Structure 1
Amino acid sequence: MEKSEIKSYSLTEMKDKYIGQIGTKEREEYEYELRMDVLGRMIKTARQERNLTQEQLGELVGVQKSQISKLESSANSATIDTILRVFKALKAEINFNVKLEEQFIKLA
């Protein structure tokens, strides 16, 4: 029996092939959704580490429990202001880095 070689692909190659090349609308939407999903999971993890329910966090932030639930499942529907208020209520530090024409601006 002859061993056949299996071709392996990197994650980037798979994304390029099945989602779209970097710079395409499809790829940009995918990457955005992925970042928002990660942000939502970060909110949930921080909340759980503080032993808070969604309702308790909502009260601290001034929003309904349902909005906290939506944030945790995918933060793409939230405003930056709401996200900042959530992390402040969680006593968690969050930083945003913005790059404008080769110059970084850090928002804390």
Structure 2
Amino acid sequence: MADMNNITDFEDILIEKYGDKGTAKRDKYDADSLAFRLGVMLKQARKDANLTQEELAERTGTKKSYISRIERGLSDIQISTFHKLIETGLGRSLNISIG
């Protein structure tokens, strides 16, 4: 059984590896992490809708290669574009909250 007193908080790991929030290295990590998470969300929603990347691209007037880059977290995406992919392309609603 693991000793609960030796558990490291994920934020502590991030600080150790990438530095404090606001530093260049940490900012890059946070941006890359966000792109990855949005890509995973898009891919899952697309699969749930039984659409291929090509079909989603056609519905939204973009290219399959762009959808692929987003889903792999390799492309930054504007919120307006993400909104269009979700609402126009997938017929779903995009809800954003600040916590």
Q: TM-score, normalised on structure 1?
A: 0.75
Larger radius of gyration: 1
Structure with greater proportional helix content: 2
User: 1:55 and 2:54 equivalent?
Assistant: yes
Q: How far apart, in 1, do the equivalents of 2:73 and 2:83 lie?
A: 15
Question: RMSD of the TM alignment (CA)?
Answer: 2.2
Aligned length: 94
Q: How far apart, in 1, do the equivalents of 2:74 and 2:52 lie?
A: 17
Unaligned runs of 5+ in 2: none
Unaligned runs of 5+ in 1: 1-5, 99-108
Which residue number in structure 2 is paired with residue 79 of structure 1? 78
- After TM superposition, the runs of 4+ consecutive aligned structure 1 residues lying more than 4 A away are none
Q: How far apart, in 2, do the equivalents of 1:79 and 1:70 lie?
A: 14
Percentage of pairs with the same residue: 30
Structure with greater proportional strand content: 1
| 1:97 CA displacement | 4.8
